[in-house]
Structure formats: structure tokens, C-alpha cells
Amino acid sequence: MDIYRRPPGKEDEKIGGVVPQHVSLNRESDFMADGWRVFKIMAEFVSGFEMMSEAGPAVAVFGSTRVQSGSPEFLLAEKLGHLLATEGFSVITGGGPGVMMAANKGAQSAGGESIGFNIKLPNQQQPNKYIDQNKLVSFQYFFVRKVMFMKYAQAFIALPGGFGTLDEVMEAITLIQTGKSERFPVILVGKSYWGGLYSWIEESMYRENGYIHGDDLEFIYLEDRPEEVIEIIKRFYPDGYSLNF
């Protein structure tokens, strides 16, 4: 169920004389359902916190689920996962196919920790086979999963992807900008893919309209080379790593 569903009001009660199926007029049953939902949310947080309690510095890797094995994007994500693990970072992905599978595969190939924060979706996204044993958490609620990414990742790496990738990137940027999270690098990998977005943020949002400050761009990077991605993260933390919030 969608926890963001607004409660029924007069405009909901009848649409063409029919009460929509997704609207309940029983406020008491809605309240009870919401109460139990709180416990489900708490349980997801607890599961994630327990699993990550002994994890070291980690980097989250995002990107399209539609990337095919052997494609340039897949090989790039696999190399990034390998390099991150070689540098001692745990690799966290959304646990699914495509870029996520590639990054998990690369981490495992280097003997690093490979973690998956899977999300339960109507199309039944299946966890990929390169997640370490006992290092998979499956979430029903996107916002719980986002908290886990934000809390435990010392950097976000975004390869080319769709709305989900863009959502994670913008969520991170917003929380850093508003001071709700410690600063950490958000690295957009693939200049030909992300260059237009970055230029629009820099030129339109910042220079032309002043909707953001110049220092709001200081933690956002645009890069192509995997080795430089690693160096960006290392330079960002000369004094070591800490949790984001």
C-alpha cells in the first residue's frame, strides 16, 4: 500500500457516483492499518542497521537495470566495483540486474564486500547472484532504502540510468545542500550521458538564475575514468571516513 495516499475527503467520496477502489471510507480501519505499517517500517530499518553494523567504508553504485552483460556500461561498472573493493571499500548497490549486478560482480572478483539493498517491485526485481551471503536486505519502502544508502555510503557513483538513478542522485544532492546529511561526493560517471544535466544545473540553476549557490556544486563531479573516480573519493576524505547522519 502507498503510505503517501491522502485521506478521503468530499472530493474523493464520489466520482461519477462510484467510490474509487483505492479509497477507504473507514477511518478506523485506515488508522489500524497505518499503525501496523509503522512496525513494518521499523522492522526494515532494524534489519538494515543490523546487517550494516560491522560494515566498513562503503560506496553506493547506481545505474540502469537494463544494461546488458558485456556492454561498455556493464564493463565500466564492473571495473569500478573491482577498483573500489581493491581500495578497501564495500560496494553497495540496489541489488538488481544491469549496472548493479556488474558493480557487485566487480567487488566480489576483488575479494571485497558486495552488498545489495534490493527493493520489492511489482515486476518482481530479483537480487543478482553476486551479492555476498547474508549481505542482502530487501525493502518494501523506497524511503527506508534511501535512508540506508545515505547513512552508510561515503560516496554515490551514478552511471547512466533512468528515473530511479536520477531520483537517488537528486535525493542525495538535496539532503547535502540542506545540511540534512554530511557532505560526500556525488560522482556522475559518463560525461556524454550526464553532461547535459550538469551543464543545465551549472548554467541555468546557478549562473543565470541564482537558484543555488556556487558551493552547491563543489561535491558534484562529472567523470569518465574509473581510476579518477577512486581518486576523487580518496581526496574528498583526507582525514578518514564517517557516517553521513
User: Residue range 94-120: average pLDDT?
Assistant: 96
Could you give phi then psi for residue 222, rounded to 5 degrees? -125, 120
pLDDT category of residue 16 using cuts at 50, 70 and 90: very low
Q: Which fold has domain 42-236?
A: Rossmann fold (3.40.50)
**66 and 34 Cβ atoms separated by less than 8 Å:** no
Span 76-83, mean pLDDT? Answer: 98
Residue type, 167: D
Indicate the domain borders of the chain.
Answer: 42-236
Average pLDDT, the chain: 88
For the segment 162-199, what is each residue's pLDDT rounded down to a tens digit?
999 999 999 999 999 999 999 999 999 999 999 999 99
Q: Where do runs of H (alpha helix) occur along the chain? A: 10-13, 27-52, 72-86, 99-109, 142-152, 163-177, 191-200, 226-236
**Residue type at 50 in one-letter notation:** E
Task: Report helix, strand or coil for 109.
Answer: helix
**Band of pLDDT at residue 5, cut at 50, 70 and 90:** very low
Answer for the pair 60, 149: CB distance below 8 angstroms, yes or no: yes
Q: What pLDDT is recorded for position 122?
A: 76
Number of Cβ within 10 Å of residue 132's Cβ equals: 16
| Residues 130-149: tens digit of each pLDDT | 999 999 999 999 999 999 99
CB atoms within 10 A of CB 206: 16
CB contact set of 81 (below 8 Å; sequence gap of 6+): 61, 91, 102, 103, 104, 105, 106, 107, 109, 110, 112, 114
Burial of 128 per CB tally in 10 Å (0-12, 13-18, 19+):
buried
Query: How far lies 8's CA from each of 5, 28, 38, in Å?
Result: 9, 13, 20
Percent of the chain residues topping a pLDDT of 70: 85
* Residue 214 banded pLDDT, cuts 50, 70, 90: very high
Q: How confident is the model at residue 6 (pLDDT cuts 50, 70, 90)?
A: very low
**Number of other CB atoms surrounding residue 142 within 10 Å:** 15
Q: Is the pLDDT of residue 9 over 70?
A: no
At 19-77, the pLDDT tens digits run 345 545 465 566 557 778 889 999 999 999 999 988 889 999 999 999 999 999 999 99
Three-state secondary structure call for residue 59 = strand
Give the pLDDT confidence score for residue 154 in this predicted structure.
96
**Confidence at residue 15, expressed as pLDDT on a 0 to 100 scale:** 34
Q: Which residue has the higher pLDDT, 8 or 210?
A: 210
